[in-house]
Amino acid sequence: MQLSLLQQCSAWTLFLLLMLIVQRENMTSAMKVKMLNVSYHSPVGDMLNQAIMSSQYMNRRISELSTHFNRFYASGRGFNNKITRCHTSSLSRPENKEQAQNTESEVLLKLAHGLLQSWVNPLHHLWVEMGDKLGYTPPYLTKALEIKTINRNLLGAMKKITSKANFALEENVDAPAWSELASLQSTNRNIRYFAFYNLFHCLGRDSNDVEMYLKLLKCRMVQSNC
């Protein structure tokens, strides 16, 4: 039985409509995949991932040097009962992770940058004085040099992340002054050793905070589900 012209037109129209619906669904799916890929592999996401990995590596190196120093130089001297003073204590920052979670992303970025900047000078002298005043051998001096280098590289990464995230980062901001070089070079062994102990303590604390800030930033800016 042949279909009338009207019936043929209606069937053809229905077929076209179905084809358009299928094409639209395919295009929508493709757009969703593309959007997910862009989000996952965004420049900010890649830079944050790299910065976090670098920060974690630096923290491992700091822990290794600090553990070695405490074992062979600070053991039995009662340094853990003394009050440690960090030159970065003047920086206003969250006291714990809970407060950091309630701090704006731009503020966290600036804090991370400020802490890294504050350690440029101390890390240079740590690397120099470990060999001169403690007699550290090349394998350990290499770790100190790695820490110094990573800190510099992270500073550059912070500037790039800040730019990509459209945040403002003040240039030429004075970092908290570090004034413990004379103590690191002291001829008095107890004064010298405690200066190194204090430096490792403060460096570990600040570097851990930088890693925490970076992880929080990634959670907010990339994952968007925290």
Annotated binding residues for Zn(2+), as ranges? 211
Binding residues: 211
DSSP 8-class letter at 175: P
95 burial type by CB count under 10 A (0-12 exposed, 13-18 middle, 19+ buried): exposed
Q: Which of 82, 64, 105, 76 is nearest to 215 (CA)?
A: 105
**Distances in Å between the alpha carbon of 205 and those of 30, 116, 164, 174, 200?**
46, 12, 28, 21, 9
Closest by alpha carbon to 86, among 208, 211, 187, 173? Answer: 208
Strand segments (E) across 71-185: none
Terminal CA-CA length for the chain: 64
